[in-house]
Amino acid sequence: MLLQGKKLLITGVLTPQSLAYGIAEHALAQGAEVLLTGFGRARSLTERSARRLKPGLDVLELDVTNPAHFPALTDALRQRWDRVDGVLHSIAFAPEDALGGNFLNTPWESVQTAFRISAFSLKELSVACLPLMTQGGSIVTLDFDNRVAWPIYDWMGVCKAALEATVRYLARDLGPRGIRVNALAAGPLSTIAAKGIPGFKALERGWGTQAPLGWSAKDSHDLVARTACALLSDWLPSTTGEMIHVDGGYHAIGAPPVTPDADELPPKPAGE
């Protein structure tokens, strides 16, 4: 199996609709040992999902806004495992006033919160797991390609661009230790997080018209989960610092297909 014997730390599992849940489910099916993280009131949701994934699956405490939680996470991992082979970073949040067309009015306090949770936490999580990644491994973060500006995404888009840069710098610094770091940029998916983004439905409706392979926000979770498991496996040993797209090819196409009006078509050659 693709992940037989791998020890994976997976963040971001809340409900079975979470993208991280699908990745954990596939990882377990492919032979991995898995630990989850959760915190606060939402931890009960993570624990319920953990029981559904596999009886006895453990949930470690991790609030990425609490600096003390990272060394505690390192200790908790060391108590359970002799090593960590892979890490899934599936953590992002922006306050309501940082989204939905409010870019020019968003206060620094909201931007700071979004940046810390959505981008800086990748570095902190990587450093916390580093002492146990003694045999190399793979770190994967979930992304939404922000090399261009998007409607409605605002400061979360800026944070995702920072996340992508963080991936490259971590790849630089962790590569000599045999650790690969990559971002997985998915198209729009129907998740709890997506429901908090104003205008998400409109973005979702237009995606499939431009993606040459098509796209379903409800049915593409499995495609993303399988790609994440491939990145966490040993099958991509020289791939690092990359943004891997699972978006139906949307990113490669400049605009949706168009049909020229009749008066725009070139004249037919004589004789035809």
- pLDDT score at 116: 98
Q: Is 252 annotated as a binding residue?
A: no
> In whole angstroms, what is the distance from residue 200 CA to residue 178 CA?
38
Phi and psi at 37, nearest 5°, equal -125, 155
Whether this prediction's pTM lies above 0.85 is answered by yes
Residue 256 is predicted with a pLDDT of: 85
Q: Are 163 and 184 within 8 A, CB to CB?
A: no
Rounded CA separation 113/93 (Å): 8
> Does residue 14 have a pLDDT over 60?
yes
Residues 6+ apart with CB under 8 A from 36: 9, 10, 11, 13, 24, 46, 49, 50, 57, 58, 59, 60
Q: Which two tokens stand for residue 22?
A: 């699908």
Rounded Cα gap, residues 222 and 218, in angstroms: 10
Ligand-binding annotation for 160, yes or no, is yes
Helix (H, G, I), strand (E, B) or coil at 157: helix
Q: What confidence tens digit (pLDDT) does each residue in 223-232 have?
A: 999 999 999 9
Domain ranges in the chain are 7-252
pLDDT tens-digit profile of 85-127?
999 999 999 999 999 999 999 999 999 999 999 999 999 999 9
Reported as a single tens digit per residue, the pLDDT across 208-263 is: 889 999 988 877 889 999 999 999 999 999 999 999 999 999 999 998 887 666 66
Helix (H, G, I), strand (E, B) or coil at 78: helix
The response to whether 145 counts as a known ligand-binding position is: no
What's the number of CA atoms in the CB half-sphere (13 Å) around residue 185? 21
Residue 166: which pLDDT band, with cuts at 50, 70 and 90?
very high
Which of 131, 90, 243, 240 minimizes the C-alpha distance to 180?
Answer: 240
pLDDT of residue 272: 57
Q: For 27-85, what is each residue's pLDDT tens digit?
A: 999 999 999 999 999 999 999 999 999 999 999 999 999 999 999 999 999 999 999 99
Catalytic residues: 153, 160
94 assigned binding-site residue: yes
100 carries a ligand binding annotation: no
28: Cβ–Cβ under 8 A, 6 or more apart, which residues? 34, 53, 54
Query: In Å, what is the CA distance from 222 to each residue of 12, 225, 227?
Result: 16, 5, 9
What are phi and psi for residue 167, nearest 5 degrees? -55, -45
Question: For residue 216, what pLDDT is reported?
Answer: 86
Q: What is the pLDDT of residue 10?
A: 98
Q: Could you say which DSSP state residue 142 is in?
A: E
Torsions phi, psi of 60, nearest 5?
Answer: -95, 150
Share of the chain above pLDDT 90, in %: 81
Domain 7-252 has CATH 3.40.50.720: yes
The DSSP result for 10-38, as a single string, is E----STTSHHHHHHHHHHHTT-EEEEEE
Q: Report pLDDT digits (tens) over 107-117.
A: 999 999 999 99
Average pLDDT over residues 175-183: 98
Is residue 271 packed enough to be buried (19+ CB in 10 Å), middle (13-18) or exposed (0-12)? exposed
Q: Which helix (H) or strand (E) holds 194?
A: helix 192-195
Answer yes or no: are the C-beta atoms of 162 and 115 closer than 8 Å: yes
Token pair of 130 as six digits: 């580093």
Confirm whether residue 23 is marked as ligand binding.
Answer: no
